[in-house]
Amino acid sequence: MSDTLALVRRLAAEHGLELVAVTDAEPHGEALDHLVRWCAEGRAAGMGYMSRHPPERADPGTLLAGVASVLSFAVNYHTPAPPFAAEGRYGRVARYAWGVDYHDVLLVRLRSLAGALERTLGGRARAAVDHSPILERAFAARAGLGFFGKNTCLLLPGRGSWYLLGEVLTQARIPAPRPGPAEHCGTCTRCLPACPTGALAEPFVLDARVCISYLTIEHRGPIEAALRPRLGAWVFGCDVCQDVCPFNRHAAPTGWADLRPERGVGPRLDLAAALGLGDEAAFRARFAGTPLLRPRRAGLLRNAAIAARNVGAVGCVPALAAATQDPEGLVRGHALWALAGLAPERAAPLADRARRRDPDPFVRAEAEAVLRGAPA
């Protein structure tokens, strides 16, 4: 290991960043080809930003002119927990979102480290996390930090996939050790049939159009009725393909207190309480500093309504009935659907009124579907 890389690792450790690997800043042609093909096949769903200027995402020079090296960091976010239990009232939250928003926590440390590298190595440095236009998993894999699993997650040998990624781009040229032979999933395909919606139709390819994480976080519109039962209890993200992965069998707990569940919403969300967040101010106050702000209020209440029906949350019936009058059509329509499964006698008159009076075509269509299925 070069003296420069040893210095980088010492500085990184001082910032709580124990896992680091380095690669050159040449554009990643292979990752670019994959991205272009993936977008052309429509698998990016509504993430139009992924298909805008793909070459820029494969070129670190987009973020920092004159960049010479890309440092990739991995931060463990795993917290051991008992198996999820809906208990007829709870929705499930993906593990990375149990604590505070990692973007803020990680970016602060990466920026501080970038400043330290500028002072010690010279040149400019820039920190990035996944909301910057860089194909971070591809560069991390090229650096030897991990390898792509068939579930498209980056797997760290001997550690698993419960890791957040971040980068520091620097104009300093840091000698990059040649990575050893890459590990791989072998013949294991556990993640593919485990996906509740079939989003992993083939190894190494994720179809965001039916991915629970995409649908519950990034997607802004209605969720197709045929997909709703498959979402199960998930209200934010999904961990199924990681839960079944053998590489995660011996995952260690995180050392970052901010990523632990006691700092945020934890693994379960009370569905009635979520549905009762009547306005934007209440929503923001409840989820301030956590990733659950990402789907916005309408998206999260949409998800909570779906989960309520799926887990048989009859205690949510009053909140769902109230939600059929929500200012957001997205909430009203999904609340009608959920209510029809939990209390059809309550849903029928509300659906009849919505069919006749609601200004939103989506809500009227949901109302028609409820009435077609309602008992005479």
Catalytic residue annotation: 130
Chain centroid to Cα 350, Å, comes to: 34
Q: Return the closest-CA partner of residue 130 out of 241, 220, 47, 33.
A: 47
Could you give the CA distance from residue 281 to residue 285 in angstroms, rounded to a whole number? 6
Task: Please give the single-letter amino acid code of residue 172.
Answer: A
Q: How many CA atoms lie within 13 A of 373 on its CB side?
A: 16
Task: Please give the single-letter amino acid code of residue 346.
Answer: R
Q: Return the closest-CA partner of residue 343 out of 368, 374, 300.
A: 374
Token readout for 186 is 């072998």
Cβ distance 242 to 94 under 8 Å? no
Instruction: Compute the residue count for the chain.
Output: 376
Could you give the CA distance from residue 315 to residue 355 in angstroms, rounded to a whole number? 25
Query: For residue 39, what are the contacts with CB-CB under 8 A and spacing of at least 6?
Result: 50, 51, 54
DSSP state of 154: E
